[in-house]
Structure 1
Amino acid sequence: MFEQINSQSLALGKSYADTFVKAQGLALAGFERITELNLKTFEERIKASVDFWSEAAEVRDLDGAKAIWPKGVQLAKENAEKFYANTQEVLGVSLKTSEAIGALAKGSFETTNETITKQVNAAKKATGAR
């Protein structure tokens, strides 16, 4: 009897360990995608800022400052829009990752529940109890 309980416990532990390893893989993949999105956005925005400030450094008079002012405003607007869009993409990746991990956990719990229910019913039948 103890051997049966131990084997069931080991099988249950293995099942949960496999599920946790899969969940960790999903989480790491999501984190990798989020990092990739953030780095790409920051790289683009830094390049745009460097280009703007390189051009702004060449301004020597008031007319040059008047000409570059709209470009500075446009840069600020683009930065805000790009960072907002990046935030939305990151949120989407986070939600998809969370849903995948949730579905994985739910499947694991349902499988465990079915297995335990079958074993309990088999034990009831074996002992003649109702």
Structure 2
Amino acid sequence: MSYQFNEQFTAASRQFADAAAQINRLTLENVEKVFGVHFTTLGENANATFAFVNEAIEVRDLEGVKALWPKGAQIARENVERLVSAGQEVIGRTVKTHEAIAELAKSQLESATADVRAQAETVAKAAAAKSTAKR
């Protein structure tokens, strides 16, 4: 009896470890992609801002400042748009990752339930067989 329990416990532990490894892999892939999106956005925003700053440094008169003002507003708007777009992409990727993890957990739960049912049916049949054998 303890051998069966040990086997069941070992199988359940192995299944749990496999599921945990898959969840960790999915999570790490998501984190890698999220950091990539953020670094790309940061780089694009920094390049645009530094280009604007370099242009602003060259301005020597009031007319140049007046011409520079709309460009600065445009750069700021584009930077915000890139940030919002990156945020939406990150949220989308994270939702997909969470869906994959939920599906994995659901399949693990269904598998464990099926294993428990099979074991319960086996025990019930054995008990029924012993009961009819005693009569």
| TM-score, normalised with respect to structure 2 | 0.94
After superposition, what is the alpha-carbon deviation per residue over 1:74-97, rounded to whole angstroms, capped at 9, x for unaligned? 011111111011100000011001
Whether 1:81 aligns to 2:81 is yes
Q: Aligned equivalents of 2:104 and 2:4: distance in 1?
A: 27
Runs of 4+ in structure 1 displaced over 3 angstroms? none
Instruction: Tell me how far 1:30 sits from its aligned partner.
Output: 0.4
Q: Partner amino acid for 1:96?
A: K
Whether 1:96 aligns to 2:96 is yes
Counterpart for residue 72 of structure 2: 72
Gaps of 5+ in 1: none
Q: Aligned equivalents of 1:24 and 1:46: distance in 2?
A: 32
Counterpart for residue 31 of structure 2: 31
Q: Aligned equivalents of 2:39 and 2:103: distance in 1?
A: 29
Q: Aligned equivalents of 1:39 and 1:100: distance in 2?
A: 25
Whether 1:15 aligns to 2:15 is yes
SS at match of 1:20: helix
Gaps of 5+ in 2: none
Q: Partner amino acid for 2:34?
A: I
Q: Aligned equivalents of 2:7 and 2:121: distance in 1?
A: 18
Q: Aligned equivalents of 2:107 and 2:30: distance in 1?
A: 20
SS at match of 1:60: coil
Q: Partner amino acid for 1:37?
A: V
Q: Aligned equivalents of 1:76 and 1:51: distance in 2?
A: 12
Counterpart for residue 52 of structure 1: 52
Aligned identity (percent) is: 38
Total equivalences in the alignment: 129
| TM-score, normalised with respect to structure 1 | 0.97
Q: Aligned equivalents of 1:80 and 1:43: distance in 2?
A: 13
Q: Aligned equivalents of 1:76 and 1:36: distance in 2?
A: 22
Q: Partner amino acid for 2:118?
A: K
SS at match of 2:60: coil
Counterpart for residue 118 of structure 2: 118
